Amino acid sequence: MKTEANHVESLSPQPIHLVEFISALSTPRSLLFNFIAKKPQFLNRQNFHEKVNQNLFSDKGFTDIELGLWTGGFFDANWNVRKEAVELFKKSGFSVPSFHGCFDLFPKSLRSVFLNLASSDPANVKSLKSQIDVASEISRCQKPFIVFHAGFVDSHFQKKEGFSNIKRSFEKVLPYAEKKGVILTLENIFWKPERVYLGVSPREIVNIVDTFKSPHLKVTFDWGHANCLAKATKAKNNFVFIDDFIKELGLRITHAHLSYNEAYQDKRTPLRLWQQVLKKIPYWSRDIKSVKIALADDEDTHLSLSTIPEEKKAQYAQNLKTLVQETSLASVPVFTHEVISDEIRNNGATIQMYEDDIKFVNQSIK
C-alpha cells in the first residue's frame, strides 16, 4: 500500500487501481438496521483494516482506496465536519486519491449523508464545501477527486429546474474546490423507473460540466451504470453503446468505476434472499423507498470482471481500450474497482477474483 504523498498528475502512467470503500460496510442486515435507527455509522474499521488491508494491498496490485464520505460519520446533521472522525481515519495510513461524495439513495431523514444536488435545498452548498474540506484534510495526494451524482427530481417537468439547481451549487462551490485543490467529478448514473435521475446521458452530463469548463469539474465514467442504461434504452449492442458513450464524453473523463453486471443477459445470478424479501416489502414513506432503491437493485450488481462470459471479454476489453485512448485516462489511468463487501470478508478464490481483474485491465489497455 502506498502511503507517501503523491501528485496525481505527476504519477507514472502505470494504471492506478483503487478499491471502493463500500467494501468496508457491514452486512445488508446491519446496514438496514442503521437506516431504520437513523445512525449512519456504517464504517466497520476492524473489518476493513484486518481484511481489506491484509488481503488486497499485500500483493494483489491495488494501490489505495476510494473513500465513501458517507461511511465514516464525518458530518453532523447540519453538515458540520466532525473533526474527531476525520482524525481517526487519518491514522489509517491510506493516501486516498479518490472519494465518493454523499448522494441521494439514503433516506432523506439521514441529514448527514443524504445529498440531492438537483433539489433546491440551500444546505447543498454547505454539504459540498464540507465534503471538500474532509477530502483535502484526509487525502495525502494533491488534487484528489470527489465523485458526485447529479441527483433526481420527481417528474420530467422538473428537469430544467433540477439542472439549474445543480449549476447554481457548482457555481458557488467550484472556486472553493480550486482553492482547496480538489477536483469534483460527476458520475454517469442510470435510469430507474422509481425516480427521474439527472446526469444519465452524455448530453446531460456535458450540459452541466461544459457550463463551467473548469479543470476542477470533470467526469467519472461508471461502466456498470452505462451498461444498465444501454439495456433501458434498448441499445442493439451494449458494448458499442458504451464505446460511443465514452467517446461523447471524451477528455472530460478523468476517472472510471469498473465492475460487471448482467443487465444485458437473459440468465442472471439469482438475487440474494434479503434482496428478494426487500423487493416485496411495500414502501409507505420516502425513507423506505430510498432503502428499497438502494439495496434491492437487481441490475447494477458490481460483479467481478472475472464473471464476464468468455465470449464477451474481448468487447469489454475494447471498452477499456476506448477509455484510455479517448479520455484523460490516457495520461493517468485511475480505476476504482467496485468490490462486493461480502466477498471482501472472505479469503481465497474471491480475493483472487480481484487480482485477476487487475491483470485483465492491465492487459486490455496495453
pLDDT at 190 over 70: yes
Q: Which of 39, 28, 27, 135 is nearest to 89 (CA)?
A: 135
Looking up cell 476525520, which residue turns up? 86
Q: Average pLDDT of 213-219?
A: 96
pLDDT at 79 over 70: yes
The amino acid occupying position 223 is: W
Percent of residues, the chain, with pLDDT higher than 70? 72
Q: DSSP for 314-359, please give it.
A: HHHHHHHHHHHHHSGGGTS-EEEE---HHHHT--THHHHHHHHHHH
Q: Note the pLDDT of residue 194.
A: 72
Length of the chain as a residue count: 366
Percent of residues, the chain, with pLDDT higher than 90? 52
| Residue 313: φ, ψ to 5° | -65, -40
Q: Note the pLDDT of residue 167.
A: 98
Q: Note the pLDDT of residue 48.
A: 45
Span of 59-68, 256-265, 317-326 with lowest mean pLDDT = 59-68
Pairing state between β 152-153 and 196-197: antiparallel
pLDDT at 249 over 50: yes
Region label for 29, one of left (φ > 0), alpha (ψ between -120 and 50) or beta (otherwise) = alpha
Q: Which of 47, 147, 57 is nearest to 97 (CA)?
A: 147
pLDDT digits (tens, 9 = 90+) for 11-31: 346 899 998 875 444 444 444
User: What does pTM read for this prediction?
Assistant: 0.84
pLDDT band at 278 (very low <50, low <70, confident <90, very high): low
11-264+299-364 under CATH 3.30.70.360, yes or no: no
pLDDT digits (tens, 9 = 90+) for 347-356: 444 556 778 8
pLDDT band at 105 (very low <50, low <70, confident <90, very high): confident
Q: Note the pLDDT of residue 364.
A: 96
pLDDT digits (tens, 9 = 90+) for 294-350: 555 567 778 889 889 999 999 999 999 999 999 999 998 999 998 765 554 444 445
Q: At what angle do helices 286-295 and 28-37 cross, to 10 degrees?
A: 160
Q: DSSP for 162-190, please give it.
A: HHHHHHHHHHHHHHHHHHHT-EEEEEP--
pLDDT at 191 over 90: no
Neighbours of 231 (CB within 10 A): 18
Pairing state between β 16-20 and 334-337: parallel
pLDDT band at 243 (very low <50, low <70, confident <90, very high): very high
Q: Which of 98, 132, 135 is nearest to 11 (CA)?
A: 98
Distance CA 127, CA 133 (A): 10
Q: Note the pLDDT of residue 274.
A: 56
Q: Average pLDDT of 98-124?
A: 88
pLDDT at 55 over 90: no
pLDDT band at 266 (very low <50, low <70, confident <90, very high): low
Residue 62 burial by Cβ neighbours in a 10 Å radius (0-12, 13-18, 19+): buried
pLDDT band at 246 (very low <50, low <70, confident <90, very high): very high
pLDDT digits (tens, 9 = 90+) for 169-184: 999 999 999 999 999 9
What's the grid cell of residue 253? 473523463
Q: Average pLDDT of 287-298?
A: 58
The amino acid occupying position 146 is: I
pLDDT band at 37 (very low <50, low <70, confident <90, very high): very low
Task: Indicate the average pLDDT of the chain.
Answer: 81
Q: Where are the domains of the chain?
A: 11-264+299-364
90 HSE (CA, 13 A, CB side): 16
